[in-house]
Chains A and B, each alone.
Chain A
Amino acid sequence: MKYMKYRVIKKTRSEIENWSELCINKQLISNCMNTQQNMEDRLWDYIDGAAGAEEKSAIEKLIDTNQEWKRTYHKLLEVHQSINSSDLEMPSMRFTKNVMEEIAKYHVAPATSSYINKKIIWGVAGFFLVMILGFLIYSFGQINWANNHSADIISPNLNKLNWGKFFNNTYTNIFIMVNVVLGLMLLDMYLHRKKEQLKKNF
């Protein structure tokens, strides 16, 4: 029994030691990788010409004095030059002709800003803003601020809210009806346009 306990303790100790060793190694690897990453980032900035004058001279010094920096710089420079030397892909010889034949069927569409009336967008945004603000003001007006129980602040007053009063209101019904009619008109316009497009295509 005693031996068993000893084995467990020994095993746990060795696990802890391995784990701490692993942590130290991981930390070292991570530090090393960060340093490498930092070096490459700085070198890429230098190669791209994005480094400032001070940074530039500091990197030049490092490249001259440090072998690791020098080796990495030459590797990255090689990649940079290779990408620069690569060619663009070319489409077929008829490409421009094909595009021009295709666009001959179309006209330039009017600029979006010319047919989208900004007043309408602002009107819609204003409408929703007023609705939200109205609802918030009404809700806050219903809160019993004197009550300390946070759970009871809103719920009793919201329960008193007579939703039927709003939805049985004549104005609300008219508003909903107008929206339904507008929706149907939009749907009709959309279907009509689709039909016209189909006619044009065939």
Chain B
Amino acid sequence: MHAGLTDKEIISRVLKGEQQLFAALVDRYQNYVFTLVLRFTEIREDAEELSQDIFVKAYRSLADFRGDSKFSTWLYTIVRTSCITFLRKKKLETTSIDNEKTLIQLENRESGFKANLVESKSRHAMVNEAIGLLNPDDAQIITLFYKAEQSLEEIGNIIGAEPNTVKVKLHRARQRLKEKMEKYFSHEVHEIQGD
């Protein structure tokens, strides 16, 4: 219905009082926001609640969006700050491959994969699982770059770093992802290659 409108057009109309138009922005960005939040929270229920809060926050401070950057970049900045606050509140430790919880999760994931051959052949599922094993910062940078189509400069604005630093972080994140895929999903990778 509002597919033809740009983000900035929607925002200016929302600011003029057409509150219902904000739903178009929610529809447009909910998957990106939810994916980014899930990289931090790991629990879907928490991610859904936090994503809702993020959209409410974005709506309330919409007048502060000056249009200097893309709306998505501005929104992902709110995502990042909200996720960091959430983690601080919950006192969650960043996932590390060495901790027990992750190893248990990994075992479950591996057995789940083996139990279902169709699922084990899904490249999408495998990559998502591997991204889930990264620490939240790495996972977020990869998601922002590949899925949210943010440039290195824009990611720099979101995480508060120079583009060159972002580039190095992205290289490292991809390197770690490659290692995880080789270590835990080599079987699936070979199957995919064999198809």
Contact = CB atoms under 8 A, between A and B. Distances in A.
Contacts, number: 113
A91 interface: yes
Give the dominant DSSP class at A's interface.
helix
Contact of A100 (B20, B38, B61, B189): B20
A95 interface: yes
Contact of B56 (A40, A89, A103): A103
Interface stretch (B29-37, B75-83, B100-108, B153-161): B29-37
Contact of A90 (B34, B126, B131, B178): B34
A109 to B, nearest CB: 5
A132 to B, nearest CB: 28
Interface string B142-182: 10001100000000000000000001001100110110010
Interface stretch (B1-9, B47-55, B86-94, B113-121): B47-55
Does more than half of chain B's interface fall in helix, strand or loop, or is it mixed?
helix
Contacts of B170: 44
A175 B61 CA distance: 37
A41 interface: yes
B15 A89 contact: no
B97 interface: no
A201 to B, nearest CB: 15
12 contacts: A40-B171, A75-B178, A76-B174, A79-B181, A83-B146, A96-B26, A99-B22, A99-B55, A103-B59, A104-B19, A110-B63, A113-B64
Given A84-B146, A91-B51, 10 more contacts: A44-B174, A78-B189, A89-B35, A91-B31, A92-B48, A95-B30, A99-B55, A103-B59, A108-B62, A113-B64
Interface of B: 14-15, 19-20, 22-23, 26-27, 30-32, 34-35, 38, 47-48, 51-52, 55-56, 59-64, 123-124, 126-128, 131, 142, 146-147, 167, 170-171, 174-175, 177-178, 181, 189
